[in-house]
Amino acid sequence: MSRLQQCFARKRTRVLNVYCTAGFPHLDDTLGILRALEAHGADIVELGMPYSDPLADGPVIQQSNAAALANGMSIPLLFEQLEALRPAVTLPVVLMGYLNPVLQYGFDAFCARAAAVGVDGLILPDLPEYEFEHHYGPVIRRHGLDFSFLVTPETSEARIRRLDALSTGFLYAVSASSTTGGDKDMPQVADYLARLRGYALRNPVLVGFGIRDREGFLAACRQAEGAIIGSAYIRALEAGGNVDDATRRFLQGILT
């Protein structure tokens, strides 16, 4: 089994996936943050590859992307940093980003390098389903990487089932059709997640966008296998201080 499959086999509820931006708040913080997230209770890390136009992300993560780029982060440098990833960090690491920088790097070369340094999966929100199925999906699978599609409350049942069939690792349930970090109507989200659960999907479901505290995390986990927290963690890192201490305090607030 892949690390993601092992994670969901080992822990079937309250799976916590934490997003962080590579090269933020400082260029060399990436590995230290990954170690801290593992040490203090995260189950999966979604590692953002900074991009100048992250359309799916709200202002907090957009700002972290801009800061990381200003720090000098790039895909080649990120891969250099991740050469020390394994075995220092054992939890699953998923790269999240946008298609254009990956194509500039070279899609096959990118997947090969990601697999070589121990990355487990990819999230590319702007990769179209058709392009994935006919061009890029076979490359991703050949290199042993998982891939997660995003679904929203407006996604039809037929399309949800199709994206679930194409995804491996987990299905990313966007809590609303907006950007990350915004306020969400959790009762309405609960109805949407209950609908997803009723479909008996093949993949575990993780809920993202607008999950910022223990209350939101537990609410999401009542209907899904877990949740993804990003903007709130970025704010915790922005506050400054020791990365390990900031991560410990943040995760304690979510998990205890």
Dump pLDDT digits (tens) for 216-247: 999 999 999 999 999 999 999 999 889 999 99
Beta carbons of 215 and 94 less than 8 angstroms apart: no
By DSSP bridging, strand 146-147 and strand 121-123 are parallel
The stretch 157-182 carries a mean pLDDT of 85
The reported pLDDT for the residue numbered 161 is 98
The stretch 111-139 carries a mean pLDDT of 97
CATH code at position 142: 3.20.20.70
Is residue 178 scored above 70 in pLDDT? no
Is residue 51 scored above 50 in pLDDT? yes
The reported pLDDT for the residue numbered 186 is 58
The reported pLDDT for the residue numbered 189 is 84
* Phi, psi at 248, each rounded to 5°: -60, -45
Given the residues 38, 57, 120, 146, the one annotated as active site? 57
Is residue 21 scored above 70 in pLDDT? yes
Mark residue 46 as left, alpha or beta (left: phi above 0; alpha: psi -120 to 50; beta: remaining). beta
The reported pLDDT for the residue numbered 108 is 98
C-alpha span between 124 and 118 (Å, rounded): 18
Angle between helix 214-221 and 186-198 (nearest 10): 30
Percent of the chain topping pLDDT 90: 89
- How many Cβ atoms are within 10 Å of 114's Cβ, its own excluded? 26
The reported pLDDT for the residue numbered 241 is 86
The reported pLDDT for the residue numbered 177 is 55
| Placement of tokens 């913080």 in the chain | 29
Name all contacts of 160-166 with Cβ < 8 Å and 24+ positions apart. Answer: 160/196, 160/199, 160/201, 161/199, 161/201, 162/129, 163/129, 164/199, 164/201, 164/202, 164/203, 165/202, 166/129, 166/132, 166/133, 166/137
> What's the mean per-residue pLDDT of the chain?
94
Q: In the chain, how many domains are there?
A: 1
C-alpha span between 229 and 238 (Å, rounded): 15
The reported pLDDT for the residue numbered 74 is 97
pLDDT tens-digit readout, 90-106: 999 999 999 999 999 99
Given the residues 29, 38, 43, 46, the one annotated as active site? 46
Query: 14 pLDDT band (50/70/90 cuts)?
Result: very high
Write out the residue range of the structural domain in which residue 83 sits. Answer: 3-255
Beta carbons of 18 and 233 less than 8 angstroms apart: yes
The reported pLDDT for the residue numbered 30 is 96
Which pTM value belongs to this model?
0.94
The reported pLDDT for the residue numbered 181 is 46
pLDDT tens-digit readout, 128-156: 999 999 999 999 999 999 999 999 999 99
Q: Among this protein's residues, is 46 annotated catalytic?
A: yes
Q: Among this protein's residues, is 57 annotated catalytic?
A: yes
